[in-house]
Amino acid sequence: MNANKTAAMVLDEIRAEALRSWEQMRQKTLIAVGAATCGRAVGALEVAGVFREEIERLKVDAAVIEVGCMGHCYAEPMAFIFKPGFPGICYGYLNEGLAARLVRDFLVDGDPCVEFALAADGVNDFIPTFQDFPRGLVEQKMVMEHCGLIDPENIEHYLAVGGYGALAAALAMDPGEVAKLVKASGLRGRGGAGFPTGSKWDLCRAAGEKTRYVICNADEGDPGAFMDRTILESNPHLVVEGLAIAAYAVGAGKGYFYIRAEYPLAVERIRKALDQAGKYGILGKSVLGTGFGLEIEVFQGSGAFVCGEETALIASMEGKPGLPRHRPPFPSEAGLFGKPTVINNVKTLSYVPYILRNGADRFKETGTPGSPGTAIFALAGKLVNTGLTEVPMGTTLRQIIYDVGSGIAGNSNFKAVQIGGPSGGCLPGETLDTPIDFDSLTRAGAMMGSGGIVVLDENDCMVEMARFFLDFTQKESCGKCTFCRLGTRHMLGILERITRGEGRPEDMDLLLELAGDIRAGSLCSLGKTAPNPVLSTLKYFRDEYEAHIFEKRCPALMCKDLIAYYILPHKCERSCDACVGSCPVEAIYSNEDRIKVINQEKCVKCNSCLVACPPQYRAVVKVSPPDLAAGKEKENDERKSQDNH
Amino acid sequence: MSGKVRITIDGKAIETAAGEKILWAALDNGIYIPHLCSIRENHSPFASCRLCFVEIEGYPGPVTACTEGAAEGMAVRTRSERVDRLVRTGFEMIMSNHRTECGVCPKNRSCALQKIAKERGLRLKPGRLEKLDRNLPVDDTAESIIYDPNKCVLCGRCVWTCKKTGSGTLGFAKRGFDRMVTTFLEAPLGESGCSGCSACAEACPVGALALKR
Amino acid sequence: MQLTEEERKEAVEKSREILARYDGSRGGLIPALQQIQDVLGYVPAEAMREAAGHFGMPAVDVYGVVTFYNQFRLTPPGRHQVKVCMGTACHMKGGNIIMESWERVLKVKVGETTPDREFSLERVACVGCCTMAPVALVNETVHGKMTPTKVDGLYFSHQLANQQKKEGMPE
């Protein structure tokens, strides 16, 4: 590389070529199929295959590319079709037949099949854009801007939309100035704790050692969270750029992506991205010709939730079991192999290029004073529109659930929202109008966590929810310290007996006492936050605990030991046998009136009959406590014998 | 780290090396703080048993004495309502997972658990908590040592010692509630390549590893 | 587990081959074990011994690492690995029912392998496909919006494919 050239000049040269091929691509028809893991799970690759076959068969001049996910996961498989003369049109709920039809009707015959269109990418006369959706008013994209619109496996796409410009800008600055800018932006770590990112970098910069490391923490272990996966799969270069800027700011010559084992596609795409960046001179011995050297490697996790904790993550990279250790020293002073190490979450790093491009003040315009910027949430559970969303910090849960998620699915009512995974909590309806940021959520008894939101309806039992999370943390506890290893085990035992209907009156107090002590006594944050699901459900849904303990009843009809399945005789259709056939254990029989009856002794409560019973009858119901079913059957028998007399 | 500092523990003025962990400063001066996992030579303490909680003036909550270095003017209290509550709960948890058979235990009367109970007025029964016996087989295959994993409190002292002075046979395996001290492939000690130095039995504070009598 | 002399030899050779790519620094331990498992399907005792020798650490500490992480297995898996997601969203949408359905069709419990080594059944914490809940994986393929009938379908299509393979029929 020519020593007189600046990083920006080197980048411009690389980018010129990328822009040319990008323009070329946009001149003909382009089909971009959403092929992140979520899309693939419901057949995106098959749909992409049909697009390719049909284009080939009908000799259409068009290209098919696989892109990431733009967050509208509910409508997967999805594809954007960019045909010259039309706005880009997004089609959802695709299947192989529909794909074939789109090629024929739209690409060949010019009919855009508006009836299947979800939205368009530009203002036009016939199809609404995503911005016209209620969620369009709430959402604001700093990180996800290009997710689902560019090919994540092609660095030219990223370059064409301005990629690596922030890195070039950073390289023109003094490393200390870069750290200062990030500090001034007020960016807080998106991994959960919300520690100021710039301060973390400063701590590392101040450390005496010359060998330093930067690590991107992509060990997204919270069940219900998939923001990091989506970003890595949809725009890997963005995260690579963020990590490279972090490395330059703290003077690290070596960086790592720590990606969890369960995300094979993310690993593949980051590896490809690193490889391409190396080939383009964006990584390697002389980053963009500046002489700053940076190597980045992928380290795959091996399946341990606790490794999201930074000292445990480091232990596993050092070839040890992932046991957290006492802090201080913090990793910024003594981290990987004892060297100063900055560990930032995927989302945190994804904001860094934005801040470099637009400045700290622009970043701070969005969000709340204490938590600037946007927040990225994964929406799952009983919502109409599940998926990924990016909204300004300070948006209320109500906006997220009702505007973005379009409310509760089916004929059900909202009960609670679980936010922050195993370290978070369940918040009830009355908290929905709280503007959410790091601090407000902690006050409400939950935690930002990494941003997983699971919406629960009236069919979800809050005691069971708490039991589920304690079962999770108990299984994922590393076992090093007493309070977490044994404390979570005891809490789980108590919750199990409550959900079995064997709860004792003193159990609620015992849970509260243990929760307080585990929070104060545990070594790491996994243990310290493990009681949150119990504390929040006890705080907001105590009545459900009481129903389980004192009435042996599960109000949500969820706890298996506290419910029974029962067929309402007056609703059961004599000529229908759907439930009988669906039962895997032959527990359902026809009585002499050809009304179906469940043998409670044999029933394994698998829910099959309830699903099988045709919606026009809805004869199968759940009752709690379970002896209600037996009681009803007895009643029926008695009534019948009276009738006979 | 050189130089002496003056601190107080429970009002008693103490002079100790700067950075010396509070736990050792207290023990050196005849002030007892419950502890199981701490090893003086280990400069990155495990801090895993969570029993050595103390209050330090100016700190928001109790901290572990094994990790906290002495600094000039520090005022330490080994007892407070919060400390006592944490120690009681932690101890109850450990006892819920420790097979208590003091009558026949080789460590009877020299057991660290008995000492903690006596010093802090705690009971050896787990109280509010259910007993969680792991029901693992007792290993008496080694010539001079008997290993009862059901008594083990996972303090790690045996593993440390085995690596320092023994044959490196012992280590930790598995995780969470199943975490245990064991050998490669969980082989019985007699078939594990153990040199029989019995340093581990010496190090064990609770009678999980003990000399055969 | 007892290996035949041949299997043992293969395990040792493959492990040595992989370990040779790593210098002795211990940071290479987990990547090396991952590669060994990729090749052999599991981490046999021989491989752990070899790794201990290569990285100059006690064998028990390699065992400690292998038994700490969910990903490592000490016994060979089934030819098809079924994993049922037990994340929050999947749990709330009946992940347990999907697990029970697999247990019923495969006639094994979670964590076990069928006697013919055709299938092993595992739980997985969360694969991040919460919007498609409940989710199950067969090998690396994610199947979303699972139902008990879909479980039957997946199982039978595998059985069918196997049968056709046995009978030597194309497609």
Q: What is the DSSP string of C1-65?
A: ----HHHHHHHHHHHHHHHTTS-S-GGGHHHHHHHHHHHHSS--HHHHHHHHHHHT--HHHHHHH
| Residue C99 resides in a domain | yes
> How far is the C-alpha of A95 from the C-alpha of A98, rounded, in Å?
5
* Phi, psi angles (nearest 5°) of residue C137: -115, 135
- Same domain for A59 and A99? yes
- Same domain for A455 and A499? no
> How far is the C-alpha of A475 from the C-alpha of A526, rounded, in Å?
12
Q: Which residue numbers of B have CB closer than 8 Å to A's CBs?
A: 44-51, 53, 61-62, 64, 67, 82, 85-86, 89-90, 93-94, 96-97, 128-130, 132, 154, 172, 174-179
What mean pLDDT is predicted for residues C30-59?
96
Q: What is the CA radius of gyration of chain A?
A: 28
pLDDT value of residue A352: 98
C63 vs B163, B168, B184: nearest CB: B184
Instruction: List pLDDT tens digits, range A29-86.
Output: 999 999 999 899 899 999 999 999 999 999 999 999 999 998 999 999 999 999 999 9
Instruction: List pLDDT tens digits, range C64-98.
Output: 999 999 999 998 889 999 999 988 889 988 898 89
Total count of domains within chain C: 2
- Closest residue in A to B66 (Cα) is A326
Q: Which range marks the domain in which residue C114 is found?
A: 80-166
| Residue A87 resides in a domain | yes
Q: Which residues of B touch C29 (CB under 8 A)?
A: none
User: Would an 8 Å CB–CB cutoff place A304 in contact with chain C?
Assistant: yes
| Residue C32 resides in a domain | yes
- Same domain for C123 and C63? no
**Which of the four pLDDT bands, split at 50, 70 and 90, describes residue B1?**
very low
- Same domain for A430 and A469? no
- Same domain for A85 and A218? no
Using CA atoms, how far residue A642 sits from A572, A628, A638, in Å, is 21, 21, 6
Strand A414-419 relative to strand A588-590: parallel, antiparallel, unpaired? unpaired
Q: Which residues of C touch A418 (CB under 8 A)?
A: 88
Put simply, the answer to whether C58 touches B169 (Cβ < 8 Å) is: yes
- Same domain for C113 and C63? no
With a CB-CB cutoff of 8 Å, which residues 128-167 of chain C face chain A? Answer: 128-133, 135, 140-145, 147-148
- Same domain for C91 and C56? no
- Closest residue in A to B93 (Cα) is A486
- Same domain for A273 and A293? yes
| Residue A151 resides in a domain | no
Neighbours of C, requiring at least 3 CB pairs below 8 Å, are: A, B
| Residue A370 resides in a domain | no
Instruction: List pLDDT tens digits, range B25-52.
Output: 999 999 999 999 999 999 999 999 999 9
What is the DSSP-derived secondary structure letter of residue A152?
Answer: T
- Same domain for C45 and C123? no
Q: In the predicted model, is pLDDT for residue C148 greater than 90?
A: no
Q: Which residues of A touch B181 (CB under 8 A)?
A: none
- Same domain for A546 and A608? no
Distance from the Cα of B33 to chain A's closest Cα (Å) equals 16
Our CA dihedral for C94, C95, C100, C102, rounded to 10 degrees, sits at 130
- Beta-carbon contacts of B2 under 8 Å, excluding residues fewer than 6 positions away, are B17, B18
Last residue of a domain, one of C14, C47, C68: C68
Question: Could you give the count of Cα atoms lying within 13 Å of A106 in the half-sphere of its Cβ?
Answer: 31
Q: In the predicted model, is pLDDT for residue C170 greater than 80?
A: no
| Residue C56 resides in a domain | yes
> How far is the C-alpha of C90 from the C-alpha of A517, rounded, in Å?
31
| Residue C74 resides in a domain | no
| Residue A179 resides in a domain | yes
User: Would an 8 Å CB–CB cutoff place B181 in contact with chain C?
Assistant: no
- Same domain for A43 and A86? yes
Closest by CA position to C155, among listed C129, C134, C136? C136
Q: Which residues pair with B109 in a beta bridge?
A: none
- Same domain for C16 and C57? yes
Percent of chain B with pLDDT over 90: 96
Q: Which residue numbers of C have CB closer than 8 Å to B's CBs?
A: 45, 48, 58-64, 67-68
DSSP string, A296-308: EEEEE--S-GGGG
Cα A514–A517–A519 angle (5° rounding)?
105
pLDDT value of residue A643: 67
| Residue C52 resides in a domain | yes
| Residue A374 resides in a domain | no
Q: In the predicted model, is pLDDT for residue B116 greater than 50?
A: yes
Distance from the Cα of A207 to chain C's closest Cα (Å) equals 22
Higher pLDDT, A316 or C141: A316
CB atoms within 10 A of CB A122: 11
Put simply, the answer to whether B49 touches A482 (Cβ < 8 Å) is: yes
User: Would an 8 Å CB–CB cutoff place A320 in contact with chain B?
Assistant: no
Domain CATH for A338: 3.40.50.11540
Domain CATH for A399: 3.10.20.600
Domain CATH for C93: 3.40.30.10
Cα A280–chain centre separation: 32
| Residue A1 resides in a domain | no
Reported ipTM: 0.97
User: Would an 8 Å CB–CB cutoff place A517 in contact with chain B?
Assistant: yes
pLDDT value of residue C169: 57
Higher pLDDT, C16 or A4: C16
With a CB-CB cutoff of 8 Å, which residues 243-272 of chain A face chain C? Answer: 261-264
* DSSP helix, strand, coil percent of chain A (3-state; round to 5): 45, 15, 40
| Residue A7 resides in a domain | no
What letter represents residue C83's amino acid?
A: K
- Three-state secondary structure of A404-471: HCCCECCCCCEEEEEECHHHCEEEEHHHCCCECCHHHHHHHCCCCCCCEEEEEECCCCHHHHHHHHHH
pLDDT value of residue C149: 81
All structural domains of chain B: 4-80 (3.10.20.740), 135-213 (3.30.70.20)
- Same domain for A571 and A635? yes
- Same domain for C58 and C96? no
Put simply, the answer to whether C58 touches B171 (Cβ < 8 Å) is: yes
- Same domain for A452 and A526? no
Q: Which residues of C touch B169 (CB under 8 A)?
A: 58, 60
- Closest residue in A to C145 (Cα) is A42
Instruction: List pLDDT tens digits, range B4-24.
Output: 999 999 999 999 999 999 999
- The strand ranges marked E within A573-618 are 588-590, 596-598
Give the residues of chain A that fall short of pLDDT 70.
1-4, 643-645
Distance from the Cα of B131 to chain C's closest Cα (Å) equals 25
User: Would an 8 Å CB–CB cutoff place C59 in contact with chain A?
Assistant: no
- Same domain for A490 and A584? no
- Same domain for C48 and C110? no
DSSP string, A255-285: EEEEE-TT-HHHHHHHHHHHHHHHHTTSSBS
Strand C119-124 relative to strand B209-211: parallel, antiparallel, unpaired? unpaired
Last residue of a domain, one of A116, A135, A154: A135
Put simply, the answer to whether C140 touches A264 (Cβ < 8 Å) is: yes
Domain CATH for C14: 1.10.10
| Residue A320 resides in a domain | yes
Distance from the Cα of C22 to chain B's closest Cα (Å) equals 23
Specify burial of residue A289 (Cβ count, 10 A radius: 0-12, 13-18, 19+).
buried
- Same domain for A237 and A326? yes
Best to test chain C binding among A227, A232, A302 (most C CBs inside 10 Å): A302
Total count of domains within chain A: 5
CB A577 within 8 A of CB A641: no
Last residue of a domain, one of A296, A327, A362: A362
- Same domain for A207 and A346? yes
| Residue C20 resides in a domain | yes
- Same domain for C101 and C50? no
Q: Which range marks the domain in which residue A399 is found?
A: 379-460
- Same domain for C19 and C63? yes
Task: Using DSSP, state whether A540 is helix, strand or coil.
Answer: helix
pLDDT value of residue C2: 67
Q: In the predicted model, is pLDDT for residue C166 greater than 70?
A: yes
Put simply, the answer to whether A486 touches B179 (Cβ < 8 Å) is: no
> How far is the C-alpha of C106 from the C-alpha of C83, rounded, in Å?
13
Put simply, the answer to whether B185 touches C45 (Cβ < 8 Å) is: yes
- Same domain for C97 and C157? yes
- Closest residue in B to A325 (Cα) is B46
Put simply, the answer to whether A481 touches B128 (Cβ < 8 Å) is: no
Domain CATH for A87: 3.40.30.10
**pTM of the full structure:** 0.94
pLDDT value of residue A584: 79
What letter represents residue A29's amino acid?
A: T
